[in-house]
Amino acid sequence: MRSRLLVTLQFALLAALALPWGAAGFRGWATIPAVLSIAAGAAVGLWALGANRPGNFNVRPEPRVGARLVTTGPYRFVRHPMYLAVLLVAAGCALGYAEPWRAVALVALALVLHVKAAIEERLLAGAHPGYADYARRTPRLIPFLR
């Protein structure tokens, strides 16, 4: 129940951030940084999907039965590259549309992903004996930041 709520909130907040909702679209000084953030998020997301093959991951924080622990590709630099990708895309949308309520939605999305990551890490530590060591040496979300 809690996992489904978190996933629903995640996708609802992402939709709120990404869809125009009456905005005139990206404009002004923020357009280039916004597009770069969205492109970076898409690149990180695709890289993570390439490293973590379909069937091995789950949109809910519970690991799939029989899933393997991936520590290569972007997972060498952060434990949650898909969450990083989502936040980069969302930040680009919030920046590009430049509406104050989108900043609030971005913070809410970051909180939802923080809770999801905490649940996921607890479950991964139970499912994979090497996870605790991996978590000690790899930042959670921001590369090179401990």
pLDDT digits (tens, 9 = 90+) for 99-125: 899 999 999 999 999 999 999 999 999
For the chain, give the number of residues. 146
Q: DSSP character for 24?
A: -
3-state secondary structure of 52: coil
| DSSP code string of 74-139 | GGGT-S-HHHHHHHHHHHHHHHHHT-HHHHHHHHHHHHHHHHHHHHHHHHHHHH-TTHHHHHHHS-
pLDDT average, residue stretch 54-61: 84
Report the alpha-carbon distance of residue 74 to residue 20 in Å, rounded: 30
27 falls in which pLDDT band (50, 70, 90)?
Answer: confident
Per the prediction, the chain carries an average pLDDT of 92
57 falls in which pLDDT band (50, 70, 90)?
Answer: confident
Task: Determine the pLDDT at residue 26.
Answer: 77
Report the alpha-carbon distance of residue 25 to residue 61 in Å, rounded: 33
CB contact at 8 A, 104 and 16: no
Neighbours of 6 (CB within 10 A): 19
pTM above 0.85, yes or no: yes
pLDDT tops 70 at residue 44: yes
pLDDT tops 90 at residue 37: yes
Q: Where are the domains of the chain?
A: 2-19+35-59+69-137
146 falls in which pLDDT band (50, 70, 90)?
Answer: low
pLDDT average, residue stretch 45-74: 90
